[in-house]
Amino acid sequence: MTPKLALHDVIVRRGGQVTLDVPALEIVSGEVLAVVGPNGAGKSTLVQVLGLLERPAAGAVLLDGRPVTGHELAARRRMATVFQEPLLLDRSVRDNVILGMRLRGVRRSERGQRAGRWLEALGIGGLARRRPHQLSGGEAQRASLARALALDPEVLLLDEPFSALDAPTRARLAADLGHLLHQQGQTTVLVTHDRDEALQLATRVAVLIGGRLRQAGSVEAVFARPADPEVAAFLGVETIVPGVVVARGESVAQVRAGGVLIEAAGAALPLGDAVFLCIRPEDVVLAPATAEPVATSARNRLPAVVGAVTPTGGQRRVELDCGFPLVAVVTRRSAEELAIVPGAALVASFKASAVHLVPQPEPAAPPKGSR
């Protein structure tokens, strides 16, 4: 299948330095590709090249398999870009949403209708007549997203769309947008430095570090098996396993992962929801299997078998199997005291609050029919 949008041997230079070097990148119809990477990795440059807002020094951008060179404006009018800042023009919210459609020659009768529909979809139908300066940051970004989605873009490009928002606003907007994207089967490229956003929204992840794509693949595969130490360091969280919410208490949820029940704090997720469990290695405590359970606040105690043990500085990184792969970090001294060697049986424990639940993206709806 021809990818919807692709890059071929793209190179971007700034002041003589190569800031982006992408031999190949393909975005398939209907997928949400998250491009993650630290600040300064070239993520924004990548979005601008994909959105035909910056011409690379070398290489080609292909839309539906055809190079866009020579008809950039027409190609640009088939995509939409949302930036970190809402960048609304000084006119009403509704007129902002209509503007893009007007520039693309959408019929007048249809513009108003679409604007109304998308403002409703983003929960700001009541703010249509407001001016940008009368909106909160979250509302303004919703308006910006409505303006982009109303264009019915073949590819939606999102450049850190949530990073200027406070945490609760960000969480709500990310959830709403994720729902809309998957419902629409909207082909999307989301650029972010936030791993959780990638986990929550993306069907595929690409890691960009130092202007180069270091790894691309399914969310699970990339987070579970980082291709190199730098990618792993950026991804930080070493244990990411898929699970399903099976019970929910007042402040604690039970999640089944790899045949084991895990308790996780806080997350108000619906029953039956597919999630990722994220556990940081420093939150896992290891104890001998024979030891009597000591009084501890750790809700999760799992029998585990040691796999590989790798020295990292003064510590040991321990890979365990406790029904699912779990990574722990212990000091060199504890490693010796507990006799942590491959094959040893131990008990791994971690608090419910150490388990971070991230919703898995919903399965994509069938692609929109007529294009």
Partner 1 sequence: MDLLWDGLREAVRLIVTGDREVLEITLRSLLVSAAATALSLTIGVPLGMLLAQRQFRGRSVALAFVNTGMGMPPVVVGLLVALMLWRSGPLGELDILYTKTAMALAQAILAAPVVTGLTATAIQGLHPKLRLQIVALGASRLQTLALLAREARLLLIAAVMVAFGAAISEVGASLQVGGNIKGETRVLTTTVVLETGRGNFDVALALGIILLALVFAVTLLLTLLQQRARRA
Residues 6 or more apart whose CB falls under 8 angstroms from that of 32 comprise: 181, 182, 186, 187, 188, 190, 201, 202, 203, 204, 361, 364
Rule CB under 8 A: is residue 130 a binding residue for partner 1? no
Rule CB under 8 A: is residue 89 a binding residue for partner 1? yes
Q: What is the β-pairing status of strands 239-248 and 274-279?
A: antiparallel
In this structure, what token pair is assigned to residue 225?
């098996």
Rule CB under 8 A: is residue 13 a binding residue for partner 1? no
Rule CB under 8 A: is residue 48 a binding residue for partner 1? yes
Rule CB under 8 A: is residue 57 a binding residue for partner 1? no
Rule CB under 8 A: is residue 151 a binding residue for partner 1? yes
Rule CB under 8 A: is residue 117 a binding residue for partner 1? no
- Whole-number Å distance between alpha carbons of 238 and 251: 25
With CB under 8 A as the contact rule, the residue among 103, 233, 291, 339 that binds partner 1 is 103
With CB under 8 A as the contact rule, the residue among 111, 114, 147, 316 that binds partner 1 is 147
List the beta strands (DSSP E) in 64-168: 66-67, 79-82, 155-159
Residue number with CB closer to partner 1 (90 or 292): 90
- Whole-number Å distance between alpha carbons of 46 and 49: 5
Which residue type, as a one-letter code, is found at position 371? R
With CB under 8 A as the contact rule, the residue among 83, 234, 324, 350 that binds partner 1 is 83
With CB under 8 A as the contact rule, the residue among 28, 99, 180, 309 that binds partner 1 is 99
Token pair 């029919």 is found at 369
In this structure, what token pair is assigned to residue 103?
């520039």
- Whole-number Å distance between alpha carbons of 301 and 295: 12
Q: Which stretch binds partner 1 (CB under 8 A): 71-79, 122-130, 315-323, 348-356?
A: 71-79
Rule CB under 8 A: is residue 90 a binding residue for partner 1? yes
With CB under 8 A as the contact rule, the residue among 26, 85, 282, 283 that binds partner 1 is 85
Rule CB under 8 A: is residue 73 a binding residue for partner 1? yes
Residue number with CB closer to partner 1 (71 or 332): 71
Rule CB under 8 A: is residue 104 a binding residue for partner 1? yes
Q: Let me know: does 354 contact 280? Beta carbons within 8 Å.
A: yes
- Count CB atoms within 10 A of the CB of residue 339: 10
Nearest distance, CB of residue 16 and partner 1, angstroms: 15
Nearest distance, CB of residue 15 and partner 1, angstroms: 11
- Whole-number Å distance between alpha carbons of 47 and 135: 26
Rule CB under 8 A: is residue 371 a binding residue for partner 1? no
Rule CB under 8 A: is residue 248 a binding residue for partner 1? no
Residue number with CB closer to partner 1 (148 or 253): 148
Contacts of 286-292 spanning 24+ positions with Cβ under 8 A: 286/318, 286/320, 286/328, 286/330, 286/334, 286/338, 286/340, 286/346, 286/347, 286/348, 286/349, 287/338, 287/346, 287/347, 287/349, 288/338, 288/346, 288/347, 289/345, 289/346, 289/347, 291/347
Residue number with CB closer to partner 1 (104 or 248): 104
Residues that bind partner 1 (CB under 8 A): 48, 51, 53, 73, 76-77, 79-81, 83, 85, 87, 89-91, 99-100, 103-104, 147, 151
